[in-house]
Amino acid sequence: MLVEREAPDLALELDSAGTHSYHLGHPPDQRSAEAALKRGVDLSHLRARKVVAGDFTRFDLVLAMDRANLADLQAMVPVENQHSLRLFMSFAGEAAGTDEVPDPYYGGPNGFEQVLDLVEMAGRGLIEALRRDPRSASEL
């Protein structure tokens, strides 16, 4: 994982969850798992789960991959935690050329590789932001 390789000094708790229950309990798409494994990331232990109310207090920052998921999260988040929501790609800067992570399921043979490239780019930006100001990730 990017954080383990590039930021072992940061004490971060990370998790992944969806805004819908389509694949609850299922492992990641095999194409996603294969693309990640090529980069040294084993996803076999992951299982899909849905965002729950407690996530908004448990995590300082809740990141959405696209605007549709951000809107779903905004409809769920308590008012006092609105500040914790962000688009993940906002940490990638303009170099990414997009502010959303596309759904790789329909992205053709390179869709999963493209998503991993974008996620790594935004992940590095997030790590840099946390190193600049670790006090409050949600205010970055």
SS3 labels along the chain: CHHHHHCCCCCCCCCCCECCCCCCCCCCCHHHHHHHHHCCCCCCCCCCCECCCCHHHHCCCEEECCHHHHHHHHHHCCHHHHHHEEEHHHHCCHHHCCCCCCCHHHCCCCHHHHHHHHHHHHHHHHHHHHHHCCCCHHHC
Number of domains in the chain: 1
CATH of the domain at 50: 3.40.50.2300
pLDDT digit of tens for each residue in the chain (140 aa)? 788 888 888 888 999 999 999 899 999 999 999 999 999 999 999 999 999 999 999 999 999 999 999 999 999 999 999 999 999 999 998 878 999 999 998 877 799 999 999 999 999 999 999 998 866 555 55
Residue 100 is part of which domain span? 2-139
